[in-house]
Every structure is written in C-alpha cells, then in structure tokens.
Amino acid sequence: MSSSITQAATEARQYLVFRLGGLDYALDFNKVQELRPLQALERFSSDGEIVSGVVVSRGVIMPIVDMRIAFGPRPPQHDPLTDVIILKLSSCVMGMVVDGVTDIVALKPEQIAPIAGAGGIDYLVGLVETEGRRLIVVDIDKLMSIRKVQFGARQAA
C-alpha cells in the first residue's frame, strides 16, 4: 500500500504552458476546459481595466480576464497568436487572455522548486527548468481569486 502512495506522489501531471509578457507560465491542465483564439469568441466589452468584458463560448456567457494587462503596463495588441484559455475553476468558468499557448508538459512534483522570495505569494507554486527553459508554475484558482484592493481601502493594523 505504501508503494502505491509513493508512486502516486511521484507521478507526472500535465501542465498547459502559456506565454505572458515574455515569460513562460504553467498551469494544471485539469483546470483547462478549452482553448480558443481570441478572434473566435463573441465578446462584449466592459469599462473594466483587467476584466475586459464577457465572452460567449458554446452558449455559455463567462467573464474574460486579459492577463496581458494584469501582468504588464502595455496595451493589448491582438494578433493571431493571442489565445483565450477557458478555465474551469472551483468557483466558476472564465476566460483568460494570454500572449499564446505553447504546449503541454508533464511535470513531477519533485521537479517544481520553490521560488526564492515568493513566500507571501500563494498563487506561485514554483519554478521548473525543463528542456532549456524556465516555467513559472501557478495555482490558477488562487491567481484568479485575487481581488484588486483600492488605494486607501486597507485598514491599519
């Protein structure tokens, strides 16, 4: 019985790799519902900065978050490589706009090293070096649950 537990702990999991602001990120592939090019989605705009409205995908209306704005101060340039990752999170289904999806990799838990100095950032799982590149592994449920805090809204401790 202990060998099956050990084997399960060292089994590789599938991660979807995407580019954002010149860096490679990876998220658990089990959280991915589908991949779509940005142009293929019917969009309704909003006045939000990061939440760029809602999209309709296969008859389902969902919010869409433009991670290119969230991760960098550059205007979104839509090109044929701009992708939307439709995520099935624990709380909802939503779309996430990224610079592009590159591939799927299999990673074992022992390959993921903690990121130095990122102890207070709970959505950063760790860093992986594989096939000559660095991947930042994120917990997409925690990342997408972050709320923007308005200036002055925090209470003094």
Report yes or no: 53 and 46 within 8 Å, Cβ to Cβ.
Answer: yes
In the prediction, which pLDDT does 108 show? 95
Query: Given a cut of 90, is residue 26 above it in pLDDT?
Result: yes
Report yes or no: 111 and 128 within 8 Å, Cβ to Cβ.
Answer: yes
Compare 113 and 4 and report the one with higher pLDDT.
113
- Whole-angstrom distance, CA of residue 28 vs CA of residue 88: 11
Condensed to tens digits (0 to 9), the pLDDT of residues 9-25 reads 578 999 999 999 889 99
- Whole-angstrom distance, CA of residue 71 vs CA of residue 22: 10
Condensed to tens digits (0 to 9), the pLDDT of residues 45-55 reads 555 444 556 77
Which run of H or E residues covers position 83? strand 83-88
Query: Given a cut of 50, is residue 143 above it in pLDDT?
Result: yes
User: Which residues fall within 8 angstroms of residue 6, CB to CB, at 6 or more apart?
Assistant: none
Strands (DSSP E) contained in 89-145 are: 93-98, 100-107, 124-130, 133-138
Instruction: Compute how many other C-beta atoms are within 10 angstroms of the C-beta atom of residue 64.
Output: 24
